[in-house]
Structure 1
């Protein structure tokens, strides 16, 4: 059996947050026991509401943040501690594409200089020709290397960020909401570019997004997060056409389908405060199919027989028969 390129096990990251100006600090579980695996040349889409822990998970798998518990293995080897020489050397093989391309670029440096920077850091030669080729790879012209970020459009800036991330030929890309700040037409161009580059370079991609339509287009597997945990994970056709977890059902029902009527699943109440997590399943106060067991016992993410997906739900796993909501 081939080892996955990236494997995260039980990742946990907590923060201390103060309630009010003089309140006592309380613990917020941003990521709470996340496990995932990603193979070469494959894309895992990580979806969920804002604040569910998607971006923190992306930073944890790259070692940009240190987990409180759990660990990450890259090519079968444990991730070196952040900041060490071994970790810096490994970072050449793992890169991140940020949400805001203008914020990710230095406005005082030309695009070409910023693409060349990782080549200089990791001592990769032939820089001028390499920069020109990278610009061509992402659909920009080599003569645009001398331009500054404010002289490019939003789509061109995101292509420049992608060119910089690809400079060291990474085996893994973590894309954190890479299209959310772009126009719809430019979003399609960037997603098509990611698919083309992956096919050519066999790069593994962790695609973090709240846009289920984008995730469906680029992903080989999809993982749905809620309040710091993965609640469902499987093939896109299974998760996005016939979701098993009630939260995933609500997410999918919100995707508009022109010309087709569909039943919208409306959730009651607001997402719970991460600093005051409900007992048992964190979703049970909003779940239309909740059982008494759901308030008492947190379901484990485990394989569901027959369809190749993992689900953390007592009802979907058949622990007890579901009852209709009143």
Structure 2
């Protein structure tokens, strides 16, 4: 199956200045990230806050330009942001944000906001089209006459989904789409996403720190740490028997009464991106690090079960964890 989206060696730098006259310091948010996403499939992107997940999503959508590397959609490089070609392509790439209230304009009705993408791209945007989109995501037609503050959190996220689906996208980037919702609503939104994907055949980049949610929805999982992917593979492989020590720590932290293996506690805080460690970025927090880890950054290379792992010690025995329940 040909790739719908390919990202190769993405680098994204920001500059941070301390004080009005302080020296500008480079912060490398992404440091050589590569992803491949096939049509109709879902790639889950997980990791701690600040590891570069959301930055990856913005580069994939063309909302920002990478400082290195390239994003290609159906084999064609992403056009420059703001160009006519980029605006035309954006109809096929849409995003679902973490905070549905912040993603909606509080001054406009839900119906007018769902119709907006249709108007921008010159498509029919009458009452029938808006009602069909609202119904597809589980809202009533009269919800279109309400304002965002008149809806619950789950209803607002459904409205955001309706707006994202208006242009019939081929790729949906979901950036923490359930983290702002009540636990009782999260499962409903997750099921809705999977139903919409099955019905429409679109691909999804699902960004989250919730491993249970990622496993439920994803065909492949990529674990990020400090701007790099450290492990990628099938959810059952990565989340049951992780090979990278950082992925092991993430999985071991999941509460599960029947889990085998002890909780792995990481020492210290994540390194400052403006002062990256030499060698493997994870070595200051890794209990198994050796001299090579402090000197040489490991490449993401093939491991068992068709997965990719960036660790010099990836072939060392790893603890096994029982299967996690659904989100």
TM normalised by structure 2 equals 0.95
Alignment of 1:257-268 (within 5 A): 257-260=256-259, 262-268=261-267
Q: Which moved more, 1:219-228 or 1:255-264?
A: 255-264
- Tell me how large the CA RMSD over aligned residues is: 1.4
- Alpha-carbon shift at residue 268 of structure 1 (Å): 1.1
* Corresponding position of 1:282: 281
Instruction: Report what 1:89 is aligned to.
Output: 88
Secondary structure at the residue paired with 2:91?
helix
Structure 1 runs, 4 residues or longer, greater than 2 Å off = 19-23, 258-262
For the residue of structure 1 that corresponds to 2:184, the secondary structure is helix
Contact 1:3 1:76 in 2 (8 A): no
Q: 1:271 to 1:204 in 2, by over 3 A?
A: same
Q: How many residues align?
A: 318
Whole-angstrom CA distance in 1 between matches of 2:259 and 2:284: 30
Structure 2 spans left out of the alignment, 5+ residues: 319-327
Q: CA deviation at 1:20?
A: 4.6
Listed one character per residue, the Cα deviations across residues 139-191 of structure 1 (whole Å, up to 9, x for unaligned) are 00011110000000000000000000000000000000111100001110100
Equivalences for 1:195-234 in 2 at 5 Å? 195-234=194-233
Q: Contact 1:311–1:317 at 8 Å: present in 2 too?
A: no
Matched, 1:63 2:67: no
- Partners of 1:263 and 1:89 lie apart in 2 by 51
* Contact persistence 2:231–2:300 (CA under 8 A): yes
Question: Which of residues 296, 312, 315 in structure 2 aligns to 1:314?
Answer: 312
CA distance in structure 2 between the aligned counterparts of 1:258 and 1:124, rounded to whole angstroms: 52
| Greater displacement, 68-77 / 22-31 | 22-31
Determine the structure 2 residue equivalent to 1:159. Answer: 158
SS at match of 2:305: coil
CA contact (8 A) 1:119 1:127 kept: no
Uncovered stretches (5+) of structure 1, i.e. residues with no partner: none
1:139 aligns with 2:138: yes
The secondary structure found in structure 2 opposite 1:200 is: helix
SS of 2:69 mapped into structure 1: strand
SS of residue in 2 equivalent to 1:247: helix
* Distance (whole Å) between structure 2 residues aligned to residue 152 and residue 3 of structure 1: 40
Give the deviation of 1:76 after TM superposition: 1.1
**DSSP-derived class of the 1:65 partner:** coil
72-81 or 11-20: bigger deviation: 11-20
Give matches, 1:1-326, under 5 Å: 2-20=1-19, 22-125=21-124, 127-260=126-259, 262-304=261-303, 306-317=304-315
TM-score using structure 1 length: 0.95
Does the residue aligned with 2:86 lie in a helix, a strand or coil? helix
**Displacement after TM superposition at 1:11 (Å):** 0.6
Measure, in 1, the Cα distance between the counterparts of 2:315 and 2:279.
Answer: 15
